[in-house]
Amino acid sequence: MVMRLATTVAAAIVATAPVPPNALNTTNPDSIRNVAATIAHDAMGYYKGNVSKNEIDVGDVQDPYYWWVAGALWGAMLDYYYYTRDPTYNDVVLQALLAPVNVGANHDYTPKARELEEGNDDLFFWGSAVLSAAERNFPQPDKSLPSWLDLGANIFNALVSRWDPSTCAGGLQWQIYPSNPNGMHYKNSVSNGGLFQLAARMARATNNDTYLEWATRVWNWSAGVGFIDPDKFHVYDGADSRKNCSETNYHSFTYTSGIYLYGAAILADHTGDRVWTTRAENLLKGAGWFFSPFENSTVMYEAACETVNACTADMTTFKGYLSRFMWQSVKLVPSLRDGVEKLLFPSAKAAAVSCSGGVDGHSCGQRWYVHGFDGVTGLGQQMCALETIQGLLIDDVDPPLKGDKIKVVRDTKWVALGGASKTGHDGPTKTGKPQPTETEDSASVASASFGLMLMSLPALLLIL
């Protein structure tokens, strides 16, 4: 399997010549696809897990990046296929997402091998990738494992089992294990925003109101504890639970705004309630302060670190998640379109222009607002540029699937762009025969498994 995947990537390398990203035409789909292909190829060049002899490397990325960034990378590569219909990396993505070392013994992506580094926020990024696979009927060929939607339900169940009402009237701690003691007393927006978004997506996918109740609960808690500014709609980082979350850490990062924004957009579409539409619109306005570090630039930047050259490896990836969720929110809340395009079209162009450095001449930089290559490269920079640019193709894709439209698909005969329909999607995909514990209606299975979880966690019912 490993050798076959390595051959797949190698073949892709020699098959096409890279298109310089700085030649991007933001209104030409072919230009966007070609530039995205160059950036995706360079991003995947940082991944070595499919050619490693060590099982623990499968699906993971190398230092200085943590395991959670790997989950985010697979989400970005699922997006790459979603937007471009280029199946080059799909086998690698499947291997990573379904590797036992990542899925874990309980099929909830809390594997023993990762307990020294995994937090609740990390689990969100793997869960987001898994749900993206479910919402797009991405094939899951391994009959020994649950469907994508059931895997998503397992991840959700793992998160809600750690909801902690003993301090701050609820919320998730940042970390899971005592091996990461600093995060055992810190409740943060990325962990709780992640739970909020996953709950919203599960509610829409399954039409199970219990997920909706959880999404509403987490939103209300986040707002009540002060993580979502009621006036500016900035999303703040977190608070010390030992002080009952009475002192908010007002640092703010791009990705948390994106996480809450997409969750609100999902619920606006799912419920039809204007309240969620307004919240999504307000969060987009609040995210506007991550653009224009200088007058007239209108370019996304990581406000907490970029202008002072203080971004950690983690932080270099954050802008990509805001771009991802801004673009995808447009499919669910049309009123967001003008605001998103006003911000992301210039950012996409600036990101492309930054991808003009390195030995190859097309490595991406960090600070897009310099309108050129700034000399700072890495996986994070590639991921951010990729998500911002490939999202320009948002009109070529359908909204995430839901209900009985979500199927358990076994066939991995990928259809490339040349075989796609005019809508940007390939034709009907053959659905393999489900296992006895599954049905073709994957959403029904996830709803049932959630009900079983509630019965197995009677203590949790006390806070419902």
pLDDT digits (tens, 9 = 90+) for 21-57: 999 999 999 999 999 999 999 999 999 998 888 999 9
- Among 180, 158, 181, smallest CA distance to 172 is for 158
Q: How far is the C-alpha of 316 from the C-alpha of 430, rounded, in Å?
A: 39
Q: How far is the C-alpha of 35 from the C-alpha of 20, rounded, in Å?
A: 7
- Among 206, 273, 148, smallest CA distance to 265 is for 273
Residue ranges of domains in the chain, CATH in brackets: 2-461 (1.50.10.20)
Global pTM reads 0.88
Is 220 or 432 the better-scoring residue by pLDDT? 220
Q: How far is the C-alpha of 396 from the C-alpha of 387, rounded, in Å?
A: 15
- Among 299, 361, 359, 340, smallest CA distance to 23 is for 361
- Torsional sign, CA 218, 224, 228, 232: positive
pLDDT digits (tens, 9 = 90+) for 196-225: 999 999 999 999 999 999 999 999 999 999
Q: How far is the C-alpha of 287 from the C-alpha of 264, rounded, in Å?
A: 14
- Arithmetic mean of pLDDT over the chain: 88
Is 254 or 448 the better-scoring residue by pLDDT? 254
Residue 388 has pLDDT above 60, yes or no: yes
Specify whether the CB–CB gap between 118 and 68 falls below 8 A.
Answer: yes
pLDDT digits (tens, 9 = 90+) for 344-380: 999 999 999 999 999 999 999 999 999 999 999 999 9
pLDDT digits (tens, 9 = 90+) for 284-297: 999 999 998 877 67
